[in-house]
């Protein structure tokens, strides 16, 4: 009985409030560790982390989910591949995110409208992370997709994974957080994975990622 443990955050911009967030978060995570003795825990962090959160992950220690597009330096660039946290799973998207092909198209269209805008900066950061030096295509193509995939598997994170849509370069989105009904959880891959293995367009993409897994010893 009584009030269940819960996290009641305050603004991280205020040092005292940030410290309270840290202490409260550590206490709750410690209780989870105790209750799930012997279980493995992974923190699903969907935005940019405040300093104390990065430090707490290391000190606890606690594995976490990393999205390269959110791991930015002060100059706006994605952190170098060898600076990714080792105790982490790195991916471009999960079921709650727009797949890479959709994210890229969104950033590309916004950058065309405002070359100095926020999305243009995010696009430059992603292309730089992928090692892309030429003019970027208007939409995701096989060459750019392969560059993004190689960059992901080249990071120092212990685990690197691709959602099925980012394996194939599709714009199918499974979930839109906060929505319900026909807006979410109704999209499916147009074909089975077995069918994609027989597809002349997608089989080479699957084979390329298979080779990346071998090359990166994952």
pLDDT in tens, 122-170: 999 999 999 999 899 999 999 999 999 999 999 999 999 999 999 999 9
Average pLDDT, the chain: 92
- Domain residues of the chain, as ranges? 1-38, 40-215
- CA–CA distance, 144 with 132 (Å, rounded to integer): 8
Three-class SS state of 4: coil
Tell me what pLDDT residue 3 has.
67
pLDDT band at 179 (very low <50, low <70, confident <90, very high): confident
What is the DSSP code string of 53-112? HHHHHHHTT-EEEE-GGG-B-TTSPBPPGGGS-SSEEE-S--TTS--HHHHHHHHHHHHH
Sheet order of strands, 63-66 included: 42-44, 63-66, 88-90, 159-160
Instruction: Determine how many CB atoms are found less than 10 A away from the CB of residue 99.
Output: 26
Of 23-27, 81-85, 137-141, 172-176, the range with the lowest mean pLDDT is 172-176
pLDDT per position as a tens digit, 65-78: 999 999 999 999 99
pLDDT band at 4 (very low <50, low <70, confident <90, very high): low
Is the Cβ–Cβ distance between 151 and 81 less than 8 Å?
A: yes
């Amino acid at each position: 009985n009584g009030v269940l443990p819960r996290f009641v955050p305050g603004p991280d911009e205020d040092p005292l409030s940030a410290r309270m967030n840290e202490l409260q978060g550590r206490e709750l995570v410690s209780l989870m560790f105790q209750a799930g003795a012997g279980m493995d825990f992974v923190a699903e962090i969907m935005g940019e982390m405040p300093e104390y959160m990065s430090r707490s992950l290391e000190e606890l220690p606690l594995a976490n989910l990393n999205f390269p597009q959110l791991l930015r330096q002060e100059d706006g660039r994605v952190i170098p591949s060898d600076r990714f946290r080792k105790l982490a799973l790195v991916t471009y998207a999960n079921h709650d995110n727009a797949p890479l092909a959709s994210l890229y198209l969104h950033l590309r269209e916004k950058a065309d409208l405002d070359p100095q805008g926020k999305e243009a900066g995010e696009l430059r950061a992603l292309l730089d992370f992928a090692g892309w030096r030429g003019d970027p295509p208007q939409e995701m193509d096989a060459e750019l997709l392969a560059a993004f995939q190689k960059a992901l598997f080249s990071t120092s994170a212990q685990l690197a994974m691709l959602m099925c849509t980012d394996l194939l370069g599709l714009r199918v989105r499974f979930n839109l957080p906060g929505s319900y009904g026909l807006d979410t959880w109704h999209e499916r891959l147009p074909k089975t994975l077995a069918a994609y293995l027989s597809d002349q367009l997608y089989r080479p993409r699957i084979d390329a990622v298979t080779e990346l897994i071998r090359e990166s010893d994952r």
